[in-house]
Amino acid sequence: MKNLVVFFIVMFLFLNIDLVAQCPMCKMAAESNLKNGGTAGKGLNAGILYMLLTPYLLVGGLAFWWFKNRKKVIE
């Protein structure tokens, strides 16, 4: 079972798939803005990355807080 999990992790790491992370309307607006010399597309991509990072930071912070408090109770 462990070998299967490792296989899938390695497979997904090396699998190259182009993903579309924006709705068609946002993508069209960003592309037309970039073609006209604007920078709205870069800001839109930065906003998507910011929204992606926020839940991971919250969960990571809670896990760190729980781990630190758990060690105090065990000792």
pLDDT digits (tens, 9 = 90+) for 10-61: 888 887 666 555 677 777 887 888 888 887 777 777 888 888 899 999 999 9
- In terms of phi and psi (left: phi > 0; alpha: psi -120 to 50; beta: otherwise), the region of 26 is alpha
This prediction has a pTM of 0.46
Question: What 3-state class would DSSP assign to 1?
Answer: coil
Task: List, for residues 11-25, the tens digit of each pLDDT value.
Answer: 888 876 665 556 777
